[in-house]
């Protein structure tokens, strides 16, 4: 009896913690969502995820006051959590449907992975920096999200679970990594910023059949570099 009571207390404590996390900054999150809508993001599922996922959990507590500004923030290991607008653009381009299998390259803070999980995707994500991988794993678990995470070189994709309905690269690549194209299912989309280290063009590649692809070149952005065998040195 005593143990059952203790377990119940622990569970209700956790639920209360989660409620508290979601209540905190909720009006700032609403404002940020409005701002992103005004910048042209239309997908209601993306806007809802931005409004509901607590971004402040994915940054250092010293920076949480800035978590709902539309800007990138440092997350350690010389990396950044992407600007919320950029996250929204990349996520909208994926056209995520519930149950879609999505691979993310560059877990970083884990925020983008949380957005995708929140939208009902089956998420796989690779990060090359171990401290970031460990931190993201803990934060995502705390919030109850269950993506599959790996520490390694994402320029090679994650062949064990391929093919994917969508692949999103959250670091700037010098060229479109060939392995990623090959890990798309027919109808699948790869969203990848490609360029030099200063500026990159967002590219969407759709696999229209077994051996045909369509490429769209979209807006310019600035990402941290994608480093690895098929990326920057």
Compute the least distance from the CB of residue 37 to ligand SAH, in Å: 20
Q: Is 109 a catalytic residue?
A: no
DSSP state of 54: -
Compute the least distance from the CB of residue 115 to ligand SAH, in Å: 8
Judged by beta carbon, residue 188 or residue 228, the one nearer ligand SAH is 228
| Cis peptide upstream of residue 163 (ω within 30 degrees of 0) | yes
- Which residues lie closer than 8 Å to 107 by C-beta, 6 or more apart? 113, 125, 126, 127, 132, 133, 136, 149
Compute the least distance from the CB of residue 116 to ligand SAH, in Å: 10
Judged by beta carbon, residue 110 or residue 188, the one nearer ligand SAH is 110
166 — phi, psi (to 5°)?
A: -155, 145
Compute the least distance from the CB of residue 158 to ligand SAH, in Å: 10
Own/partner pairs for 54-60, CB < 8 Å, 24+ apart?
54/21, 54/22, 54/24, 54/25, 54/29, 54/143, 55/29, 55/81, 55/84, 55/111, 56/24, 56/25, 57/21, 57/139, 57/142, 57/143, 58/109, 58/110, 58/111, 58/114, 58/136, 58/139, 59/109
Judged by beta carbon, residue 214 or residue 229, the one nearer ligand SAH is 229
The owner of tokens 């990060």 is 127
Compute the least distance from the CB of residue 171 to ligand SAH, in Å: 4
Judged by beta carbon, residue 77 or residue 185, the one nearer ligand SAH is 77
The token duo for 123 is 């998420």
Residue nearest to ligand SAH (CB): 108
* Helix/strand/coil (H/E/C) assignment for every residue in 184-201: EEEEEEEEEEEECCCCEE
Question: Which residues of the shown chain bind ligand SAH in the complex (CB under 6 A)?
Answer: 79-82, 105-106, 108-109, 111-112, 126-129, 132, 153-155, 170-171, 224, 226-228, 231
Judged by beta carbon, residue 10 or residue 134, the one nearer ligand SAH is 134
Q: Which of 82, 159, 185, 209 is catalytic?
A: 82
Active site residues: 82
């Amino acid at each position: 009896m005593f143990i059952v009571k203790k377990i119940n207390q622990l569970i209700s404590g956790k639920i209360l913690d989660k409620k508290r996390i979601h209540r905190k900054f909720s009006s700032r999150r609403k404002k940020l969502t409005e701002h992103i809508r005004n910048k042209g993001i239309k997908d209601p599922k993306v806007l809802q995820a931005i409004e509901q996922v607590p971004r402040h959990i994915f940054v250092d507590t010293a920076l949480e006051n800035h978590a709902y500004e539309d800007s990138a923030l440092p997350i350690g290991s010389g990396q950044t959590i992407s600007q919320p607008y950029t996250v929204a653009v990349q996520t909208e381009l994926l056209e995520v449907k519930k149950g879609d299998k999505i691979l993310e390259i560059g877990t970083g803070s884990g925020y983008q992975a949380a957005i995708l999980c929140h939208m009902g995707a089956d998420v796989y994500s690779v990060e090359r920096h171990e401290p970031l991988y460990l931190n993201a794993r803990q934060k995502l678990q705390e919030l109850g999200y269950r993506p599959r995470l790996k520490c390694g070189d994402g320029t090679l994709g994650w062949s064990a679970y391929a093919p994917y309905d969508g692949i999103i690269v959250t670091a700037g690549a010098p060229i479109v990594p060939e392995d990623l194209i090959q890990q798309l299912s027919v109808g699948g989309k790869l969203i990848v910023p490609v360029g030099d280290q200063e500026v990159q063009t967002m590219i969407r590649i759709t696999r229209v059949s077994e051996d045909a692809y369509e490429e769209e070149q979209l807006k310019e952005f600035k990402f941290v570099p994608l480093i690895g065998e098929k990326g920057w040195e």
